[in-house]
Amino acid sequence: MEILYLLIPLAVVLMVVAVAGLIWAIRSGQFEDLEGPAWRILMDDDDPRVPRPPEKEKPGGPPPA
């Protein structure tokens, strides 16, 4: 019976943390685009017919002419 004095406040604190996390996720835009990432994985990004932009020179490389 004494364990309830620990478990009930612990459950309430855990619920408050979960609700705070949900509110933070909603306000920060985590649920804005639910279908975009699902479709993005199906897109073929490595099409050999599409030219890639030139890569930038790494720092410390030869100076441009």
pLDDT of residue 37: 78
Per-residue model confidence as pLDDT tens for the chain (65 residues): 899 999 999 999 999 999 999 999 999 998 888 888 778 777 766 666 666 667 766 666 666 65
pLDDT of residue 39: 81
The CB-side HSE value for 39 (13 A sphere, CA atoms) comes to 4
Q: Model-level pTM?
A: 0.53
Rounded Cα gap, residues 34 and 42, in angstroms: 15
Rounded Cα gap, residues 11 and 40, in angstroms: 39
pLDDT of residue 34: 82
Q: Which helix (H) or strand (E) holds 52?
A: none
